[in-house]
Structure 1
Amino acid sequence: MKKRKSITDIARELNVAISTVSAVLNGKTEERRIGEATKKRVLDYTLNAGYKPNQIARSLRTGKSNIIGMLVEEIANPFFAEITSKVEKKAAQHNYELIYSSTENDVNKIDRLITTYKNRQVDGFIIAPTIGSEKKIKELIEDKTPLVLFDRYLPTLATNNVLINNFNGIYIAMEHLKKSGYMNIGFISTNSRQTNMQDRLSGYRSFVNEHNWDASILEIDFKIGDTIKPSVISKYLLKNLQLDALIFSTNYIALCGLSALQQIQKSISKTYGIISFDDNTHFDLFKPSITTIAQPIEDIAEGIIQTLLLKMKEENYNSPIITKTFEPKLIIRESTKK
């Protein structure tokens, strides 16, 4: 990151003693008998430099705020909520505070949040990027701001990434369904162009092409904050009665799909094999329980924090780009047993 002004720098530019700046920033002007005019000069200068009163002293003394900024797609999503919680705990173990916000995959919102976090002098960023955020993230790279992307990546930028093998997650799910006797498998997803969703779709296409099966894909028009109507999925199912199994690309689509199956009065265990990408705390409570492709949350959170800590060390910033890729795990439950 660009070098922050130290207490020495401020004292020299204001032509006052270092001890005077320190006293003002630490609220000890009365003890040192520092006049109001001098106090105002120091505070005005530091505030105009972008510092906030409760962060000034520490960040100027150490050159660090000990704050990490994290931007996720939607904090209400169980996956992002769990990842954020674990990253927050791991950051605290290294004496860092975590501040986080939802971007809702809105380019303007992610740009505003990055600017806000930069003004708060965060020491590093953890971002689940959205398409269109390349320009703002490129600015962070050019400013030498420590940065880790997770869940998805931006192909046009050289960034540190912590990812999972989305392609392989779907592929092994397809293999499991085939071994279980399912031969007509539908793939239900959103029309998102994010790399994680595209890799999942590629895993499905690759498997059906290799086995000369017919692909059956439903891509739902969806934006964060929208509600997927079960009728969209039920119409698809009624038009594709040859299907004997379904893979849902996310757990929230799976929940909607299960509602759709109830609407058309189909028995999951007798009619369809069901697999959802991302586990859900309720999936093992369903009757039948739902087979899932689970992401290794603990490993992802550890990978994120360790990569960022490494890059926040000035001597390591220019070290080679780091990309960590973890394998998802297939949790087999009753919904894929014929």
Structure 2
Amino acid sequence: MSKKISITSIAKHLGISTTTVSFVLNGKAQEKRISDKLVKKVMDYVEEIDYKPNSLARSLRTGKSNIIALIVEDISFPFFSAIAKEIEENAYKNGYRIIYSSTENDAVKTRELIEIYQDKHVDGYIIVPPEGVEEKINALCASGKPVVVLDRHLHNVETDHVLVNNYESVYSATQYLIKQGYKNIAFITLNSLQSQMLDRLAGYEQAIQDSKLTPIIKEIAHEDSVKRHKHLLSFFKRKRNSIDAVIFSTNYICVSGLKSIKQLGLRIPKDIAVVSFDDYELFEMYAPAITSIAQPIESISENAINLLLSRLNKKATEIDKDVQKIVLKTTFIERDSSTR
């Protein structure tokens, strides 16, 4: 039955214009000053008959699907899932729906996902990009689709992005440990060319150099938690007597590291102090609680969706061509894992 129902037949049944029904179903009732009573009348009838509009046909007709693609590294990671939740809530309030996908830092998969979303006529993109997708994102921008890049930036890609001050955050955290009296501070990070990881590493290296200490760097590959734990366990076995503190470049690496430290019977912070980039709700409940560099999840999400919406809500002739580059500050949360 729902396949045979059209906006025209709904309008005829209710005794109102097709245009009014269209405005209500497309979320423009308030903009067009349609009364709440009439909106309720339309929506009650639509629910009663289980009307399901053809979204593709509507997007072709209006030029908008009211769908935003959110493409992240891994939606299961606490940082990205928290970001996704905030973005979805803000998008929904503004009449948009979110489609999520994880890239697993795979450039081929990312390009394929973008092509799928292009076929679905999504209105805009918020992307946490791996390396190797520069050409695809530039093509999206050239086609007129707004793109906001999160968490990292890509060279030779000029589009809006939202980042945090990665370099300064890790530099300050390393200096904090040095002032606490730690001298053999390791930095464990991904073997990655991603800009945020390079900036975090550079912040650590500069702080160590400024204090005339010796850097201790462990880079691990993108891999599952079992392999990650195995590699970190081996590292801490070899270095257990030669390091007194460690900074992890992400919270999921820190979780694997904490398992390894516990398995080896090392005491935090007596045997080894711990700091993690990215806070995690379980860090506060860990014994001892883990010191962390917290990213401003709410502010990152709000800035990202607001940047995108500002592009989506303007006519092509009104759009500001200047790229918006927003860099937000993190918060250092001192807990028991880093105090002597």
- TM-score between both structures, scaled by the size of structure 2: 0.82
For residues 122 and 230 of structure 1, the distance between their equivalents in structure 2, rounded to whole angstroms, comes to 39
For residues 246 and 30 of structure 1, the distance between their equivalents in structure 2, rounded to whole angstroms, comes to 65
The 5 Å alignment of 1:80-119 reads 80-119=80-119
- Post-superposition CA distance 1:122-147 (Å, at most 9, x none): 11110001101112111101112111
Extract unaligned runs of 5+ from structure 2. 13-51
Find the residue that maps to 2:87 and give its secondary structure: helix
Report what 2:337 is aligned to: 335
* Aligned: 1:321 with 2:323: yes
The 5 Å alignment of 1:23-38 reads 26=6
For residues 199 and 25 of structure 1, the distance between their equivalents in structure 2, rounded to whole angstroms, comes to 56
Alpha-carbon shift at residue 29 of structure 1 (Å): 7.9
Alpha-carbon shift at residue 61 of structure 1 (Å): 4.7
Alpha-carbon shift at residue 68 of structure 1 (Å): 0.8
The 5 Å alignment of 1:57-76 reads 57-76=57-76
For residues 69 and 263 of structure 1, the distance between their equivalents in structure 2, rounded to whole angstroms, comes to 41
CA contact (8 A) 2:73 2:104 kept: yes
CA contact (8 A) 2:225 2:256 kept: no
Alpha-carbon shift at residue 234 of structure 1 (Å): 3.1
Alpha-carbon shift at residue 230 of structure 1 (Å): 2.9
Q: Which amino acid aligns with 1:143?
A: S
> Aligned residues, how many?
296
Report what 2:242 is aligned to: 242
For residues 230 and 96 of structure 1, the distance between their equivalents in structure 2, rounded to whole angstroms, comes to 40
- Identity among equivalent pairs (%): 40
Cα distance, 1:322–1:30 mapped onto 2, change above 3 Å: closer
Alpha-carbon shift at residue 99 of structure 1 (Å): 1.1
Report what 2:226 is aligned to: 227
Q: Which amino acid aligns with 2:101?
A: S
CA contact (8 A) 1:25 1:57 kept: no
For residues 247 and 318 of structure 2, the distance between their equivalents in structure 1, rounded to whole angstroms, comes to 42
Q: Which amino acid aligns with 2:87?
A: V
- Post-superposition CA distance 1:61-107 (Å, at most 9, x none): 53221111110111111110010010000011111111111111111
The 5 Å alignment of 1:144-155 reads 144-155=144-155
For residues 290 and 31 of structure 1, the distance between their equivalents in structure 2, rounded to whole angstroms, comes to 60
Report what 2:255 is aligned to: 255
CA contact (8 A) 2:56 2:120 kept: no
CA contact (8 A) 1:310 1:316 kept: no
Deviating 4+ runs (over 4 angstroms) = 27-32
For residues 94 and 318 of structure 2, the distance between their equivalents in structure 1, rounded to whole angstroms, comes to 17
Alpha-carbon shift at residue 28 of structure 1 (Å): 5.1
Report what 2:15 is aligned to: none
For residues 246 and 130 of structure 2, the distance between their equivalents in structure 1, rounded to whole angstroms, comes to 27
For residues 150 and 205 of structure 1, the distance between their equivalents in structure 2, rounded to whole angstroms, comes to 24
CA contact (8 A) 1:185 1:244 kept: yes
Extract unaligned runs of 5+ from structure 1. 1-23, 33-51
- TM-score between both structures, scaled by the size of structure 1: 0.82
Question: RMSD of the TM alignment (CA)?
Answer: 2.3
CA contact (8 A) 2:228 2:253 kept: no
Report what 1:309 is aligned to: 309
CA contact (8 A) 1:126 1:150 kept: yes
Find the residue that maps to 1:125 and give its secondary structure: strand
Q: Which amino acid aligns with 2:181?
A: G
For residues 55 and 238 of structure 1, the distance between their equivalents in structure 2, rounded to whole angstroms, comes to 57
Report what 1:282 is aligned to: 282
For residues 294 and 202 of structure 2, the distance between their equivalents in structure 1, rounded to whole angstroms, comes to 18
Find the residue that maps to 1:234 and give its secondary structure: helix
Cα distance, 1:226–1:337 mapped onto 2, change above 3 Å: closer
CA contact (8 A) 2:278 2:294 kept: yes
For residues 178 and 7 of structure 2, the distance between their equivalents in structure 1, rounded to whole angstroms, comes to 69
- Post-superposition CA distance 1:199-251 (Å, at most 9, x none): 1111111111111110000001223x463343422332333322111001111
For residues 58 and 150 of structure 2, the distance between their equivalents in structure 1, rounded to whole angstroms, comes to 29
CA contact (8 A) 1:144 1:317 kept: no
Report what 1:127 is aligned to: 127
